[in-house]
Structure 1
Amino acid sequence: MNSRKTRLILAVAVAAAIFGYKALNPKPGTAGEPATASDSAAGPVAPVQPVMLGQIAFTSCSLSSPMAKESLEAMCATYAVPEDRAKPEGRKIALNIAWLQATGKGERMPDPVFFLAGGPGQSAVETFPGLDPVFKEVRKQRDVILVDQRGTGKSNLLSCKAPDGGDDAFDPSPEAMQAQATTCAAELSKKADLRHYTTTDAIADLDAVRRAIGAEQVNLVGVSYGTRVAQQYAMRHPAATRSIVLDSPVPNALGLGNIFARNLDDALALQFALCSKDPACKDKLGDPRAELDVLLTTLRANPVQLQYRDASSGEMKQGTLRAETVAGLVRMYAYMPLASGLLPKLIHEANAGRYENLMALSKMMSGDMQDAMAMGMQLSVICSEDANSMVVREEDANTVLGNLMPSGMAAMCKAWPKGAVPADFNQPLATKVPALVLAGEFDPVTPPRYGEEIVKSLANGRLFVLRGQGHSVIGAGCMPKLFTQFIEKADAKALDGKCLDTLAYPSPFISFNGAQP
């Protein structure tokens, strides 16, 4: 991985996947592509007749993702909104929208579900196919609307391609980060006013789409960063909000600049304890946290140059394994406790001089990260909304991540244009709108205490903490069934969550073949 790409991924994408990352990026050129006739079809093709939903004309399309077994048949459209609402006659953004029609033969309810993707920087249209099974029962009665947030997907994507460079030129200094952001901002400013790609701008877009399709009320389902969008929408448009689902949420009141290091260490303590409490794992792999500290200390002093096999191509390549690379990989694996069960084995192997697996996995995940996140949009959001909280803290110095993230982001935000934020942006959401709040016990970025804080001001809200789960939990165990019941009745307090008691803790890997039988 080249040096500039490393800076972007570690200081922004790994950091400001602020609310989370799942490798749900689509196969290039597939999500939202119009449905086409087979190549073997002969004769003229009849003009595609649009289907109107309110004021918007939709045509058939297919949505696909590596995380979905099959493509989804949908209806796709664009809807133009002003980039700067203070200048309605100025530049327009063509919002990319997908409409998944209700599948049941019975009554179609008038309040659709709006799915709000994470990041910030993920595309709702591209992310949703992997989550469609969770919505199977909900979709029998309700349409699902996917709007690529401005700056993501096909809604004027704000993404800078990292230039080539060598590993030996790696420079994580704030000065290098700021220079990279300056270059990125200059390039993107040719097609966008970067001040107008904030959460507040996105809220106005969502409500414009709601009104255009003729829906009096909507149900909001936000995952990760999408929970910030959902809370802000419900705050600004309570009458238009029938219900909200907040999966892996962050409170409105929280500045996110320096939450990463402590939250990750807390989650790793819980996850690594699964090995420390398992006699066979502890005997073979030792204390995972102590081993990780040894590995990071070793690599900070002497980064390792090595050969590894590329996980995508199978080719042998040369690379340099650094402490920052390992820290980023550990953080990404911590999002998914089932996968993080492999970390103690990987770390133990590396301390024995076998670094190849760590290197290959870090390269694979960093490539997925760059493809899945629109980094320019990400910076427009976090630099406008969270820059003041990006401070270096002495108590974070000895954590896995240290202060790399807040220092790197603060440097990049010095070069990034910032948008306006409402004076009450950080007020807690206080509403009677029914709310289902979900958190994973082992979440390394939005821990359960965030959900506990949020529900304090939600008169009709309820929190479920899912045992042994990480980030993005709506698909875990019986949660899809409870989610369906909530959307049907809009009553979280009536849900019987006993079925979640069957969730089990993941077993740590003793070897690369898995946990001990």
Structure 2
Amino acid sequence: MLATTALCASAASAADGGAASATGATSAASTASADGLASLTACRVDGVPTEVQCGSIRRPLDPARPTGTQIDIHFVVVRALARNKFPDPVLLLAGGPGQSAVALTGMVLPRLSRLNYRRDLVFVDQRGTGRSAPLVCPDNSDKPLEELVQPGARLRLLDQCRTQLERLPHGDLRFYTTTIAMQDMDAVRAALGVEQWNLVGASYGTRAGLEYQRQFPQRVRRAVIDGVAPPDMVLPVSFSRDVQAALDGVIDACAKETACNARFPALRTEWQGLLKSLPRKVTFTHPVTGRSEDVTLTREALLGMVRPPLYAPATAAALPAALHEAAQGRFDAVAGLAGQLGGGSRATRIAEGMHFSVICAEDAPRITQSTEAPAADFGTLDSDLYSSVCRQWPRGEVPAAFYTLPVSKTPVLLVSGGADPATPPRHATRVAQALGAQAVHVVVPQAGHGVALTLACMRDVVYRFIDAPKDADALRVDTACATRIPRPPAFLPPTPATVSAAASAARESNR
């Protein structure tokens, strides 16, 4: 998932690295076996009921100084179940930027079970995440909300984090770019003795996959990129425009839905009035401590709270009711929805130090060059935040070729959710055109962020795309099921009248 600026819940989403425990893994780099390949050790990973294999390779922090500071890149291999397995594994590229791929193993493994029958699955903690030289900011989730939503609070916390990270042995924040990280990935491939593998990347993992394919095209058999965030996207600028479109879509859908419009006929007017009323004192229930707190709610904080529910249409379906409640001065519903992204799971949390090291190197220098107009409600909120953070953040360098998209020589399946607030289809459409005839773009009109491994229909598409023996067969995979997935109807909480009627009916039935 692409990291958001949901400030009310920023503490709840403040990354702790999301690293799952991997007992039995070597703490230093894996030793080479007699044939020069990496040795693997049986280990356990959170969320996986059986043993897997863990390993690591040692890499220079700065590729230009191969004998300088070294870091360990940790990975997990889930072996294929069948003895006559295929030689091309599946590599998962995590999102964020800043998610730990190893921490996602337990969540993703059931969704890749068909592929795992005859293919190994590989989960690599990209440098800066999980156990691979982690760049983790302190967890501030138990701090008072008033402290977290004050103007400038996020900048102060990130500045403190940057200072702490720079004291680490691996704390030169210039060397966590996607380009360098994909060189690590290829070193893992070589250490595993793999000639080619299949890439599956979601959100930022799509940028990673595109960069890996640019550098090592001969090593990619097939690629699935879900929620495409290309290298030329300028994430902080696109964030605001794309989340605005998703929010407008929710409000428009309510207006077109008879029951929702009847309950909330003035939803857009209420939303605009709510924004204009800020800042003001409101009462929240703290999502971590459970204590009731009085908070000075700012426009930026409210916009940050509204963003996370938009990632999943089933959660966004509750936004009309939550926004109506907020317009009446009751904010617990919208605050509760803001905390639902990832369910608070460690596996989905972001290593913020890695996140900003990537964005400050690859996107921030291009913010001022963007020609995208500010969003109506979100304005330049995201680009302003990242510009401020990146003024102080050490900035790595990426080659000019990083921003290019060479024509693909192997099949690429691009997947987009039509209601995605972070990586909607407009980005994948441009990428598919650049990749050429070997690219297929599938849009699931009513889906949100993360489609390929979330929806059962699309998991089958991904399996058949990767499993097809011939490239031509992969490119002809049937994706028609994607268009038939409906938008969830708006959630309408019971009214006092319906509660009373239900109670009366219950009493009658018990007589």
TM-score range relative to shorter protein: 0.7 to 0.9
Change (3 A) 1:186 1:52: farther
1:127 and 2:109 equivalent?
no
Q: Give how far 1:328 is off.
A: 1.3
1:343 and 2:319 equivalent?
yes
Q: Which residue of 1 aligns with 2:188?
A: 209
Q: Give how far 1:501 is off.
A: 3.5
Q: Give how far 1:184 is off.
A: 2.5
Q: Give how far 1:179 is off.
A: 5.1
Structure 1 segment 242-391 matched on structure 2, within 5 A: 242-300=221-279, 302=280, 304-308=281-285, 310-311=286-287, 314-362=290-338, 368=344, 372-391=349-368
Runs of 5+ in structure 1 lacking a partner?
1-11, 36-48
Change (3 A) 1:31 1:230: same
* TM-score, normalization by structure 1: 0.84
**Correspondent of 2:385 among 402, 408, 420:** 408
Q: Which residue of 2 aligns with 1:3?
A: none
Q: State the one-letter code of the partner of 1:190.
A: R
Q: Give how far 1:318 is off.
A: 4.8
Check conservation: 2:282, 2:329, Cα contact below 8 A: no
* Aligned equivalents of 1:503, 1:53: Cα separation in 2: 50
* Aligned equivalents of 2:54, 2:294: Cα separation in 1: 43
Q: Percent identity?
A: 33
Change (3 A) 1:291 1:393: farther
* Aligned equivalents of 1:319, 1:94: Cα separation in 2: 43
* Aligned equivalents of 2:38, 2:278: Cα separation in 1: 55
Q: Give how far 1:487 is off.
A: 0.8
**Correspondent of 1:89 among 47, 67, 71:** 67
Deviations along 1:141-188, whole A, 9 cap, x unmatched? 100111100000111110121665772585435xx7665444322211
SS in 1 for 2:235: coil
Q: Give how far 1:24 is off.
A: 13
Q: Which residue of 1 aligns with 2:476?
A: 494
Q: Which residue of 2 aligns with 1:32?
A: 22
Q: Which residue of 2 aligns with 1:73?
A: 51
* Aligned equivalents of 2:369, 2:295: Cα separation in 1: 30
Change (3 A) 1:430 1:273: same
Check conservation: 1:55, 1:213, Cα contact below 8 A: yes
Runs of 5+ in structure 2 lacking a partner?
26-30, 499-511
Structure 1 segment 43-192 matched on structure 2, within 5 A: 55-65=37-47, 71=49, 73-105=51-83, 107-161=84-138, 167=146, 170-173=149-152, 180-191=157-168, 192=171
* TM-score, normalization by structure 2: 0.85
Q: State the one-letter code of the partner of 1:167.
A: E
Q: Give how far 1:467 is off.
A: 2.4
Q: State the one-letter code of the partner of 1:124.
A: A
With 366-375 and 270-279 compared, the bigger mean Cα shift is at 366-375
Q: Give how far 1:253 is off.
A: 3.0
Check conservation: 1:203, 1:229, Cα contact below 8 A: yes
* Aligned equivalents of 1:373, 1:27: Cα separation in 2: 6
With 488-497 and 457-466 compared, the bigger mean Cα shift is at 488-497
**Matched length:** 476
Change (3 A) 1:84 1:492: same
1:444 and 2:437 equivalent?
no
Q: Which residue of 1 aligns with 2:201?
A: 222
Q: Give how far 1:499 is off.
A: 2.4
Q: Give how far 1:361 is off.
A: 4.2
Q: State the one-letter code of the partner of 1:258.
A: V
Q: State the one-letter code of the partner of 2:107.
A: G
Check conservation: 1:76, 1:98, Cα contact below 8 A: yes
Check conservation: 1:256, 1:389, Cα contact below 8 A: no
